[in-house]
Amino acid sequence: MESDDLFFASFDETSPPGGDATIADARRAVREATSETALREALERQQRAFDLAMTASQMGTWRYTIADNICIYDDNAQRLYGLAEARFLHDEDGVKTKFHADDMELMWSRVAKALDPDGDGRYDVEYRVKQPDGTWRWLSAWGLVEFEGEGPDRKAVAIAGASRDLTERKKAEDFQRMLLDELNHRVKNTLATVHAITAQTLRSARDLPTARDALEKRIMSMAKAHDLLTARSWTGACLTDVVARALEAFPEGQVEISGPPVDLHSRHVLALSLALHELATNATKYGALSCPQGQVGVHWKVDAGELQLRWEESGGPPVLPPATKGFGSRLLQQLVGDLGGTLELDFEPAGLRCTLTARL
């Protein structure tokens, strides 16, 4: 027996004539009330689920009525637009204080297109809105126009729609655009450096095999520097790693490096890698690294934002100053000049001394 049957069972024996109809009506009323309660609870659950979904997706809804020029925002949309209340008057002053000036023309053109009686009534635009703290938030707004009438009498009365926060996506797009611009800049600089090194290497080489060997080693030095930069997403590299990578081909007993941890800008990394490669190449051909007992020390310090790096050779054959400035010396001067620094080369008999400075 159903619950309402139990509820009304005690009335069966005492009911007056016509009581069956009264009981049936009462039962029907209870069923209808129960059904309405269940429906209302289901609708409330559905509304709560919708509100949670809108909040989770950083979305809010709104409705703009044309007759009074007023837009009503729900709670989520109020947070997105940085509003203290649901009602917002879209007059000239209100719009200027809330929407970014650079987005106004696009916004109004999209509104006009959507309100066109001959159009599809779709509204879609992206713009920036000012927040209470003065920052700007990117939003995507889209909706459909409500029309009244048919044919020539058809006119727009409102736009109902939703908005979503695009700020993080816009930041990601800006960052990606910046990375592409930076990559383009670096590729051009790298190709220019390779072109310059190739031209000067061929110009100063005695023969083709010598030129090929020198060019391969210089380009490999650049490649090693690029590996260091790639490992840190081109944000720079540690000077210790730069020096160690430039001298890794030589026995540890012949090379000594020391200095504090220094993070280099990406443009310093490539220039210093090439500079160290030229010094090591010269030491291998004529200096301390041309014999087993030779020693090379690379030491650096930072003083008032200026890097001071010193290359010292000892134990090698006696050093004589060159009669002319070779390609290696010219390249070193150019590299250090690109860094806004200075270079001192001292060809002492006991070994070459090179002091390099650069602003960090």
Q: Region 166-179: what's the mean pLDDT?
A: 87
Read off the pLDDT of residues 252-280 as tens digits, 9 standing for 90 and up.
788 999 999 998 887 788 788 888 888 88
| The pLDDT of residue 228 | 66
Give the fold, CATH level 3, of 170-359: Heat Shock Protein 90 (3.30.565)
Confidence of residue 13 (pLDDT cuts 50, 70, 90): very low
Cα distances from 340 to residues 14, 296, 333, in angstroms, run 110, 26, 11
* pLDDT higher than 80, residue 233: no
| The pLDDT of residue 27 | 66
Q: Region 138-164: what's the mean pLDDT?
A: 93
Residues of the chain with pLDDT > 90, as a percent, come to 37
| The pLDDT of residue 99 | 95
* pLDDT higher than 50, residue 32: yes
| The pLDDT of residue 353 | 94
Give the burial class of 71: count Cβ atoms within 10 A of its Cβ; 0-12 exposed, 13-18 middle, 19 or more buried: buried
Q: For residue 165, what are the contacts with CB-CB under 8 A and spacing of at least 6?
A: 58, 59, 80, 137, 138, 139
| The pLDDT of residue 57 | 60
Cα distances from 281 to residues 156, 162, 327, in angstroms, run 79, 66, 12
* pLDDT higher than 80, residue 331: no
Mean pLDDT lowest among 49-53, 127-131, 135-139, 340-344 = 49-53
Give the fold, CATH level 3, of 58-165: Beta-Lactamase (3.30.450)
Angle at 298 between CA 292 and CA 301, to 5 degrees: 165
* pLDDT higher than 50, residue 352: yes
| The pLDDT of residue 337 | 76
Residue type, 33: A
Confidence of residue 92 (pLDDT cuts 50, 70, 90): confident
User: What residue spans define the domains of the chain?
Assistant: 3-55, 58-165, 170-359
Return mean pLDDT, the chain. 81
Confidence of residue 112 (pLDDT cuts 50, 70, 90): very high
Q: For residue 304, what are the contacts with CB-CB under 8 A and spacing of at least 6?
A: none
| The pLDDT of residue 138 | 96
The pTM of the full predicted model, rounded to 2 decimals, is 0.50
Q: Region 23-37: what's the mean pLDDT?
A: 67
Beta strands 136-148 and 351-359, pairing class: unpaired
In contact, 43 and 58? CB cutoff 8 Å:
no
Cα distances from 67 to residues 48, 71, 113, 157, in angstroms, run 31, 11, 18, 7
Identify the residue with better confidence: 187 or 317.
Answer: 317
- If residue 147 lies in a helix (H) or strand (E), which one and from where to where? strand 136-148
Read off the pLDDT of residues 300-329 as tens digits, 9 standing for 90 and up.
999 988 899 999 999 999 988 877 666 567
* pLDDT higher than 60, residue 3: no
Read off the pLDDT of residues 50-75 as tens digits, 9 standing for 90 and up.
566 566 567 899 999 999 999 999 99
- If residue 146 lies in a helix (H) or strand (E), which one and from where to where? strand 136-148
